[in-house]
């Protein structure tokens, strides 16, 4: 049952009321749904281990996966890390507020469950007016993973959060459709060289314009057995819709039909997400066109996948995106969504 209260924020009065209610809930140790510019978060007081434990329980998240802490001023940052590195300073100045998470040595007052028992904490200053207002009103750094059950698709609007977790939380703030649409770029900023742990819409080449970057382009390591996962991107299966996701390319109507054929023998409800080679209509197949522009594509992708799930798709055939560095974040999410 989707019973969470969804509070709108689109007028100054509504925003004030929603922020006050959210801040009170967070100070009381509750977990709430909150918009950010990337995806919606499931937020709680990052300094309260019990509140953070509720996040893990609600998501069914493995305790080995650390949670990002969201801040909205420099005093809060100082509460969260004991080693604000020159690298972090440079990246924060260039990209905050924004869709970039910096992994740094944790401060003692950050509970160990936030960091999955490790010595580092992921920090982000989000660029969303509602999130910033809530953080300032409650005066607390907020631990917030994406507001979806573990391994599922992230929500990019309040209705998604209601549908995914509305039976497990009491309050969701509606800050509209997320403008970025995929999760933040996660960067290890503990040392003198930056290392990309999860690609996102802030790209390797943008980071490399400011700081030295491992491999020049960023690398994706793999988690050690029994260690906290370095990033969610390291779990092969993640960001997945309920339907099976299949990635393929086609350059002509004939090739499209060749790709479709085997799927038609196996599945009944087939949905296609195309952005370049727009296929012809095929009876019984639902075709959606996403803009062929990486920012617009990222903004639309999860909403389209959620919509396919809502319509009861058995399989979603997604046209593979170009192997261009600027599409790396989107390509990563599609690859993980398609992993079985
Ligand atoms: O855009 C985003 O990052 C969204 C919004 C809500 O801020 N949050 C998000 O959280 O995507 P989540 O939990 O779904 O993915 C964040 C990932 C974690 O799974 C974790 O692997 C990585 O960031 N992370 C967090 N803390 C870390 C740490 N201390 N060291 C390495 N990776 C960390
Ligand atoms: Mg997530």
Backbone angles phi, psi at 147, to 5 degrees: -90, 65
- Our answer on whether the CB atom of 120 is closer than 6 Å to any ligand 1 atom is yes
Using the mean position of ligand 2's atoms as its centre, give its distance from the Cα of residue 313 in Å.
Answer: 22
Would you call 43 helix, strand, or coil by DSSP?
Answer: strand
Task: Output the pTM of the full model.
Answer: 0.94
Rounded CA gap, 16 and 182, in Å?
A: 27
Rounded CA gap, 73 and 132, in Å?
A: 9
Per-residue pLDDT, 89: 98
- Our answer on whether the CB atom of 66 is closer than 6 Å to any ligand 1 atom is yes
Would you call 7 helix, strand, or coil by DSSP?
Answer: strand
Per-residue pLDDT, 228: 45
- Helical H runs in the chain? 12-27, 49-59, 74-80, 86-95, 129-138, 158-165, 204-208, 253-266, 294-310, 328-338
Using the mean position of ligand 2's atoms as its centre, give its distance from the Cα of residue 255 in Å.
Answer: 34
Integer distance in angstroms from the first to the last C-alpha of the chain? 29
β-pair type (69-70, 142-143): antiparallel
Nearest ligand 1 atom to alpha carbon 146: 14
Rounded CA gap, 199 and 328, in Å?
A: 7
CB-based contacts of 334: which residues, under 8 Å, 6+ apart? 245, 247, 301, 318, 320, 321
- Our answer on whether the CB atom of 240 is closer than 6 Å to any ligand 1 atom is no
Would you call 133 helix, strand, or coil by DSSP?
Answer: helix
Cis previous bond, 97, omega within 30: yes
- Our answer on whether the CB atom of 100 is closer than 6 Å to any ligand 1 atom is no
Per-residue pLDDT, 1: 63
Ligand number nearest CA of 153 is 2
Provide the 10 A C-beta neighbour count for residue 228.
18
Residue with tokens 């799927």: 263
Helices and strands: H and E segment counts in the chain: 10, 14
Rounded CA gap, 37 and 33, in Å?
A: 13
Nearest ligand 1 atom to alpha carbon 148: 14
CA distances 66 to 145, 211, 247, Å, are 9, 25, 29
Using the mean position of ligand 2's atoms as its centre, give its distance from the Cα of residue 57 in Å.
Answer: 14
Which string of DSSP letters, residue by residue, matches 135-163? HHHHTS-EE--BSSSTTBPPPSSHHHHHH
Per-residue pLDDT, 200: 98
Backbone angles phi, psi at 246, to 5 degrees: -120, 130
CA distances 204 to 85, 102, 220, 294, Å, are 19, 14, 12, 15
Q: What are the pLDDT tens digits along the chain (340 aa)?
A: 679 999 999 999 999 999 999 999 999 999 999 999 999 999 999 999 999 999 999 999 999 999 999 999 999 999 999 999 999 999 999 999 999 999 999 999 999 999 999 999 999 999 999 999 999 999 999 999 999 999 999 999 999 999 999 999 999 999 999 999 999 999 999 999 999 999 999 999 999 999 999 975 444 443 333 334 445 445 566 788 999 999 999 999 999 999 999 999 999 999 999 999 988 899 999 999 999 999 999 999 999 999 999 999 999 999 999 999 999 999 999 999 999 7
Nearest ligand 1 atom to alpha carbon 180: 1
- Our answer on whether the CB atom of 41 is closer than 6 Å to any ligand 1 atom is yes
The rounded radius of gyration (Å) of the Cα atoms in the chain is: 20
Provide the 10 A C-beta neighbour count for residue 168.
17
């Amino acid at each position: 049952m989707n019973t969470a209260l969804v509070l709108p924020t689109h007028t100054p009065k509504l925003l004030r009321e929603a922020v006050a209610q959210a801040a009170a809930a967070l100070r009381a140790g509750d977990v709430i749904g909150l918009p950010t510019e990337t995806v919606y978060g499931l937020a709680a007081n990052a300094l309260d281990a019990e509140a953070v434990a509720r996040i893990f329980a609600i998501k069914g998240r493995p305790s080995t996966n650390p949670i990002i802490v969201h801040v909205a001023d420099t005093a809060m940052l100082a509460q969260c890390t004991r080693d604000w590195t020159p690298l972090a300073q440079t990246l924060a100045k260039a990209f905050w507020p924004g869709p970039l998470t910096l992994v740094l040595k944790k401060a003692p007052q950050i509970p160990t469950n936030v960091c999955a028992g490790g010595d580092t904490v992921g920090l982000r200053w989000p660029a969303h007016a509602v999130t910033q207002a809530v953080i300032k009103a409650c005066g607390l750094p907020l631990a917030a993973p994406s507001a979806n059950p573990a391994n599922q698709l992230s929500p990019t609007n309040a209705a998604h959060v209601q549908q995914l977790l509305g039976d497990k939380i009491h309050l969701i703030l509606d800050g509209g459709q997320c403008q970025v649409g995929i999760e933040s770029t996660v960067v290890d900023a503990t040392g003198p060289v930056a290392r990309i742990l999860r690609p996102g819409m802030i790209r390797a080449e943008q980071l490399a314009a400011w700081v030295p970057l491992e491999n020049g382009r960023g690398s994706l390591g793999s988690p050690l057995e029994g260690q906290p996962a370095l990033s969610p991107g390291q779990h092969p299966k993640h960001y997945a819709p309920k339907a099976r996701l299949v990635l393929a390319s086609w350059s002509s109507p004939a090739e499209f039909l060749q790709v479709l054929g085997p799927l038609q023998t196996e599945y009944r409800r087939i949905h296609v997400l195309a952005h370049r080679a727009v296929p012809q209509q095929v009876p019984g197949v639902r075709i959606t066109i996403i803009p062929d522009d990486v920012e617009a594509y990222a903004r639309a992708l999860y909403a389209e996948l959620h919509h396919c799930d809502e319509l009861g798709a058995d399989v979603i055939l997604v046209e593979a995106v170009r192997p261009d560095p600027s599409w790396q974040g989107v390509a990563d999410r599609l690859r993980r969504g398609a992993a079985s």
